Amino acid sequence: MKLALFDLDNTLLPIDSDYAWGEFSQHIAWTDPVSFKARNDQFYADYQSGVLDIHEYVRFATDAVRLKGAEQAEIAHRQFMREIILPAVKPSAIELVKQHQAAGDHVMIVTATNEFVTRPIATAFGVSDLIAVELARDEQGWITGEILGTPSFKEGKVTRIAQWLAARNLNWSDVHITFYSDSINDLPLLEMAQTPVATNPDARLRQLATDRGWRTLQLFS
C-alpha cells in the first residue's frame, strides 16, 4: 500500500489553522483580545521552538468552544471556514492531493491540530482520512478540554500511524509512505517515511533536508 501523508498547517495550508482559529475567536468576541492573544502567541512560539506542552495548549485552545456549546461552535466554525480557511486554500495544494489520489495512493492528513478545527478542513481538501488530536467528551458528548488517547504531535504521529496500520493488520513494512511536512516537530514521522518531503520547511527542517538529501518542495510562493 502506498500512503501519502500530509501535515496540514503551513504544509497544505499557508497558515496555521490552530492559531488562526484562536485569532478568529477574538474576532467574534469569544475570547479576550489582550490576554488570549498573549497566551496564543506564546503557545505558537513554543510550538515553533519545539517545546509546546500539547495538553496545556489544547485545554487553552478549546476552552471557549467548550463553554459556548456544540450549536454555537458549529455556526462559528462554518463562518471560520468561509472567511479564513477557504480563501487560504491554494490550487497548488489541492492539485498535489489530487495527484496522489489519482495515482491510487491512500491519502491522509496527519496534524497536531485538534479534530474540531480540522475535520471540516480535511473535507474541503477532499480527504476523508484524518488523524488529528482527538478530544475527550463528557456524558453529553461534548468536549471536555482534555485529549483522548495519544496526541498526534511529534512522536505521537508515529504512534497514531502505527495504530492505524495495526487496525488494518498492516506493518510498516507493508506500506510505502510519502510524508509532506513543514516542521521540525514532525521529524519522527519524516524519518519513518520512505519518501520524506520538506514542504515549505522551517529553517531547521530546510537545513536538515539539505543535509540528508531529502526532497524540498515550496508549495506556495
Active site residues: 7, 9
d(CA 183, CA 125): 20
* Helix ranges, the chain (H): 17-27, 35-49, 54-68, 70-80, 86-88, 91-102, 115-124, 155-167, 187-192, 203-212
CA distance 73 to 79: 10
Residue 110: which H helix or E strand, with range?
Answer: strand 106-114
The label of the residue with cell 495512493 reads: 105
> Which residue reads 477532499 in cell numbers?
126
At a CB cut-off of 8 Å and minimum separation 6, what does 199 contact? 7, 11, 180, 181, 182, 216, 217, 218, 219
